[in-house]
Amino acid sequence: MSDQRRNKHQTKIKINIFNKFLFFAVLFLLIIACFIKIHSIISFPKIDKWNYQQLQKIDKTKNEFEFIVFGDNKNSVTTFENLMKKANDDEALFAIALGDLVYDGEKEKFRFFINQIKDFNKPLLTAIGNHEITDLGRANYYELFGKFYYSFATANSYFIILDNANETNLDAWQLDWLENELQISQNYKYRFVFMHVPLYDPQDSRTIIDHCLKDPIFANKLNNLFDINNVTMLFCSHIHGYYSGIWGKTPYIITGGAGAELHGSDPQHHFYHFIKANVSDNDVKYEVVTIRSPKFEFIHRLIHIARIYIYAFFAIKFWDSIIILTLIYLVFYIIFIKKEWLILNFRKKRK
């Protein structure tokens, strides 16, 4: 192709891509996107100490009731919304989310999560996970949800929610608080403890990085503390699947199947679900409520994981992406089409 023909071809492309009609269409789209983005921020409901507000809604006088526990939705869309719908149909007194509510601690991710749960028809309490504390997320979490660890009681049960989002241990202040709370809990028939990161990793695989407390000495210390105080059940998440068993004398349930990518393909452990606990005067029974999960073949899991994050990205960042793309187009329009006009005007002003 000759230089003359090449130049004509490039000019034609520029005219097709950077014409006035498309310029004004992109500009209009940018204005609309900015308006929607600003409106979503301004109209976002005022959330202040979410967990405290939710605690006030719980009927604490009942001896017999159900509660729901789940963890690790991590800004997933379809699966988590299906879980919410199924939990909505249940007559549980309240629900507890065990952390990794979001992919990272950016405020926009928290907004998306709150929009997902705003129509939930029962009180929903949260624990903080390791994903919440990235990108200055600990401050954002505190602003929206309140205290990092807290407790409450019903007529016959005591509930303790911990913060081990650092994946290592509890600080000295929290540990002293926990010891005191466990003493108080002895006045109740049942004692339930909730934290994001499990004491140990029950997964039997050398190919998987341990998803548990990184300080094994502290994990043993905490385990002994739970044993001494006869904890009825320890609920954890962090591992994206379902496990149950006993550590020392303390029974545990790991429930990390609320929507994030599953950590394996074992049908006994790696599936989407939530836990329903039925508390009565006689005992506590636990039910695993399953949610539709991807097939166990590797390719199906891979496609599902890609879908989770692509879908979540566009669900959360759609208008941000539109703003960025339109701005890039407008900058290139000025550079390629209006460059000579800008230079000419600049020279006239200098004269």
Q: pLDDT digit string (tens) for 179-192?
A: 999 999 999 999 99
Q: In whole angstroms, give the CA distance from residue 313 to residue 310.
A: 5
Task: Tell me the pLDDT band of 10, cut-offs 50, 70 and 90.
Answer: very low
User: Which class for 81: exposed (0-12), middle (13-18), buried (19 or more C-beta within 10 A)?
Assistant: middle
Burial class (CB in 10 A: 0-12, 13-18, 19+), 134: middle
Measured CA to CA, the distance from residue 77 to residue 273 in angstroms comes to 15
Q: What is the pLDDT of residues 281-331, one digit of tens each?
A: 999 999 999 998 766 545 555 555 666 666 556 556 666 767 777 777 777
Residues belonging to the chain = 351
Question: What is the DSSP code (8-state) at residue 58?
Answer: S
List, for residues 224-258, the tens digit of each pLDDT value. 999 999 999 999 999 999 999 999 999 999 999 99
Domain 50-293 adopts which CATH fold? Answer: Purple Acid Phosphatase; chain A, domain 2 (3.60.21)
CA angle 86, 89, 92 (to 5 degrees): 100
Per DSSP, the three-state class of 28 is: helix
Look up residue 120 and give its amino acid. Answer: F
On average, the pLDDT of the chain sits at 83
Cβ distance 277 to 66 under 8 Å? yes
